[in-house]
């Protein structure tokens, strides 16, 4: 009884102060079933106020001025009001009842939920095979494709959700797509290097001197506010160094040396077995350049043998930590963003590659920064996450198709190129969802 009296007092108070009470009853037009969560707002002039939601019975109450014309705005995620009241003055001592009729009006797009390991086709074409691909900063893809063979002509495609936005024929023989340390994609041909930029979904290619790019841009691994991280890697020599370059005082500092001791011994020993003419040539080169004669012979002859293996010791960054994987000392080193060594962990996953199928490849997720080891046995590719904090390996993640090519990991998805064995199908681009989700991190942008 006490609550009833309070309601009456409130109603009479609202009337005395120039207000009217409106009761809304929202129901589905055909079934008359109540519609909850319908948003109702009062519009007076250009002002919107007094928004309420209908309850589980489809009922809501509002008070409005009984001296001004008002209208109402309605919103529901799935229904639409078909009998919207006209703008007018509501003036009554009694509660005004407005019955709203709603119809279903918002058809939701179907959502496909795939379990981890189920492949999905990202790009396919009856005319073009995918040769290589990269991502732009906004998530669009740059795809290098060819109709017959890559040597007979390639096209540069800009693709968004499988739809080709732009297609540019390449004049020279395009070899691959790579990203520089800023994350900008470049197309490498047999003659040139061109930066790829998108202007109004149209491709713009900006040529760069190839020798300059390879000498001064490609060696840069990463950069931060104060420093570059780069290497003097040369595929014809079994050793190289990592450096930092300080923007402030223009100083260089070596932070790590990578060397395959056994390969270096064989490399230099090649000089001992060279013929006299070759030794004379190497000594003349040493006199002219200051580089040891043994290195000249090793670079010219030993690197052409089946025994020579190029070094592989990649560097990655995630947030404020930089990770260097030295596969020849069997250690992973962690540095600060200024290049100071913090700690190290032993690594063993690369040992006995003939047994475990290690492909001399680590891949970093471009958005989360997680690092995955790539194995392949009998054509079956498997990924395994490496925990940079503990050195432990995660679960084995097999890819659905055999002989996956050009693997890239981005935003907890693995992307690769594949064509069924002995099939006339063109090479398609696929992706698979990884079984574990990791949040976005700040990572190095280059390859």
Please write the tens of the pLDDT for every residue from 247-257: 778 888 999 99
Q: Which of 383, 364, 388, 390 is nearest to 442 (CA)?
A: 364
d(CA 367, CA 321): 15
* pLDDT at res. 432: 95
Q: Does residue 182 share a domain with residue 154?
A: yes
Q: Does residue 100 share a domain with residue 124?
A: no
Q: Does residue 139 share a domain with residue 94?
A: no
pTM of model > 0.95: no
**DSSP run (H or E) holding 403:** none
* pLDDT at res. 265: 95
- For 37, 38, 73, 228, 231, the CA distances from 337, given in Å and listed in that order, are 51, 52, 54, 10, 16
In a domain, 427, yes or no: yes
Tokens of residue 71, six digits? 């209208």
Residue at token pair 């990463």? 222
Rg (CA), the chain: 33
Q: How many helices (H) and strands (E) does the chain have?
A: 6, 31
Output phi, psi for 289, to 5 deg: -115, -20
Q: Which of 114, 125, 173, 171 is nearest to 149 (CA)?
A: 173
Q: Does residue 276 share a domain with residue 189?
A: yes
In a domain, 188, yes or no: yes
Q: What is the pLDDT of residues 392-411, one digit of tens each?
A: 999 999 999 999 999 999 99
- Which of 104, 130, 165 is a domain's end point? 104
d(CA 194, CA 178): 10
d(CA 4, CA 220): 77
Q: Does residue 268 share a domain with residue 199?
A: yes
- Which of 41, 75, 104 is a domain's end point? 104
Mean pLDDT value across the chain: 88
Provide the residue range defining the domain that includes 385.
120-433
Q: Does residue 131 share a domain with residue 96?
A: no
Q: Say which CATH number the domain at 149 has.
A: 2.120.10
In a domain, 421, yes or no: yes
Q: Does residue 134 share a domain with residue 96?
A: no
Q: Does residue 355 share a domain with residue 219?
A: yes
Tokens of residue 63, six digits? 């008070």
Number of domains in the chain: 2
In a domain, 28, yes or no: yes
* pLDDT at res. 113: 65
Are 302 and 267 a contacting pair, CB within 8 Å?
Answer: yes
Q: Does residue 169 share a domain with residue 81?
A: no
Q: Does residue 124 share a domain with residue 89?
A: no
In a domain, 447, yes or no: no
d(CA 266, CA 19): 97
Q: Say which CATH number the domain at 24 has.
A: 2.60.40.10
Q: Does residue 365 share a domain with residue 217?
A: yes
Q: Does residue 240 share a domain with residue 165?
A: yes
- Which of 70, 104, 138 is a domain's end point? 104
Are 61 and 44 a contacting pair, CB within 8 Å?
Answer: no
- Mean pLDDT (10-residue bins), the chain, 447 residues: 48 57 91 91 78 90 84 88 89 88 76 74 92 90 89 88 89 88 88 88 88 87 81 94 87 93 94 93 93 94 93 94 95 93 94 92 95 94 94 93 94 94 90 92 81
């Amino acid at each position: 009884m006490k609550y009833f009296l309070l309601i009456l007092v409130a109603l009479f108070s609202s009337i005395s102060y120039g207000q009217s009470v409106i009761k809304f009853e929202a129901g589905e037009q055909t079934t008359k079933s109540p519609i909850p969560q319908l948003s109702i707002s009062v519009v007076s002039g250009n002002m919107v106020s007094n928004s309420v939601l209908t309850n589980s019975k489809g009922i809501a109450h509002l008070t409005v001025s009984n001296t001004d014309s008002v209208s109402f705005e309605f919103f529901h995620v799935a229904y639409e009001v078909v009998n919207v009241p006209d703008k007018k003055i509501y003036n009554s001592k009694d509660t005004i009842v407005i019955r709203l009729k709603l119809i279903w009006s918002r058809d939701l797009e179907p959502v496909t939920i795939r379990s981890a390991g189920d492949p999905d086709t990202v790009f396919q074409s009856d005319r073009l095979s995918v040769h290589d691909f990269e991502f732009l900063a906004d998530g669009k893809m740059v795809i290098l494709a060819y109709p017959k063979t890559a040597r007979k002509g390639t096209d540069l495609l800009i693709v968004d959700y499988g739809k080709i936005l732009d297609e540019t024929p390449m004049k020279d023989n395009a070899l691959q797509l790579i990203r520089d340390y800023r994350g900008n994609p470049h197309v490498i041909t047999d003659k040139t290097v061109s930066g790829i930029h998108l202007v109004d979904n149209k491709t713009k290619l900006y040529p760069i001197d190839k020798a300059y790019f390879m000498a001064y841009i490609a060696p840069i691994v990463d950069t931060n506010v104060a420093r570059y991280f780069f290497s003097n890697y040369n595929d014809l020599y079994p050793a190289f160094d990592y450096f930092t370059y300080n923007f402030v005082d223009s100083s260089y500092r070596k932070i790590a040396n990578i060397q395959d001791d056994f390969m270096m011994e064989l490399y230099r020993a090649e000089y001992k077995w060279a013929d006299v003419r070759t030794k004379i040539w190497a000594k003349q080169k040493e006199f002219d350049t200051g580089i040891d004669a043994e290195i000249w012979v090793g670079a010219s002859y030993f690197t052409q043998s089946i025994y020579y293996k190029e070094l592989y010791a990649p560097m990655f960054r995630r947030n404020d930590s930089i990770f260097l994987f030295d596969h020849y000392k069997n250690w992973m080193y962690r540095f600060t963003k200024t290049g100071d060594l913090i700690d190290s962990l032993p690594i063993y996953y690369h040992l006995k590659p003939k047994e475990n199928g290690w492909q001399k490849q680590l891949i970093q997720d471009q958005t989360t920064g997680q690092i995955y080891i790539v194995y392949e046995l009998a054509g079956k590719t498997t990924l395994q996450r490496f925990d940079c904090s503990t050195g432990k390996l995660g679960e084995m993640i097999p890819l659905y198709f055999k002989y996956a090519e050009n693997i890239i990991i981005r935003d907890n998805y693995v992307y690769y190129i594949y064509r069924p064995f002995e099939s006339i199908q063109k090479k398609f681009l696929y992706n698979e969802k990884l079984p574990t989700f990791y949040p976005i991190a700040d990572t190095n942008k280059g390859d």
